[in-house]
Amino acid sequence: MIFKVLFSILILTNCCTLNQIQKNTRILRGYYKDVLNYQQINLISRKNTYFNGGLLNSQLNRDAIYYVNTGIGYTFCSLHHSIEIFLFKKYQLNTIVIEIWNRSANPHYDFEVYIGYLENEKQIYENSSFAGIIRIRFEDQLVDKIRIYNRGGSNYNGNLSVIKVQAFYQIQN
């Protein structure tokens, strides 16, 4: 009995302190860090998606992104397919950063970006002539999936080639 009462008090204090709420928010927001980083390759669907140069050298959530050439260093999908990234749990996010591969020919890519939660998707970006790195801001939202759709390839070839993707919650200044 005393045990039970003690236990309830513990739960109460645990659930209702400001600290606990703040802690839960931090967890939900992935501690404000990139929630894709250091995850396993299974995070990225292999359906229609390829890894040039072996998984460790090419997956878009790796850290070593500095060695890229025609045979190594990027994740890609062919025309009218998507690169799908499944998160292991839901996170509250508001920022996604994508670096596409800027081949020496300086290509421009045609693609769309979606965020998803419980099978519902929302488009957060599109560009028919994009080059370089894009930082996409969106309303705070629970996310369990990110999808990059290759709408029109690039002026180099039909593939959508991505070097790096990061997703996180950024506190507004």
Ligand X SMILES: *[C@@H]1O[C@H](CO)[C@@H](O)[C@H](O)[C@H]1NC(C)=O
CA atoms of 126 and 114, how far apart (whole Å): 9
Structure tokens at 44: 């990225």
For ligand X, give the closer residue by CB, 37 or 127: 127
User: Quick one: 101 or 168, whose CB is closer to ligand X?
Assistant: 101
- The secondary structure of residue 71, as a DSSP letter, is T
CB of 23 to ligand X, least distance (A): 36
DSSP H helices in the chain: 2-16, 18-28, 55-58
Q: Smallest distance from the beta carbon of 37 to ligand X, in angstroms?
A: 23
Sheet with 109-117, strands from edge to edge, namely 49-52, 74-77, 160-168, 82-100, 133-154, 109-117, 120-130
Please report how close the Cβ of residue 84 comes to ligand X at its closest, in angstroms.
18
For ligand X, the binding residues (CB under 6 A) are 52, 76, 78, 102, 104, 106, 127, 129-132, 157-159
Q: How far is the CB of 22 from ligand X (least distance, A)?
A: 34
Q: Tell me how long the chain is.
A: 173
**DSSP code at position 104:** T
> DSSP state, 12?
H
- Decide whether 117 or 138 has the Cβ nearer to ligand X: 138
Closest approach, Cβ 102 to ligand X, in A, equals 4
**Contact present, 78 and 157 (Cβ < 8 Å):** no
Shorter beta-carbon distance to ligand X: residue 19 or 129: 129
Residue nearer to ligand X on the CB measure, 77 or 87:
77
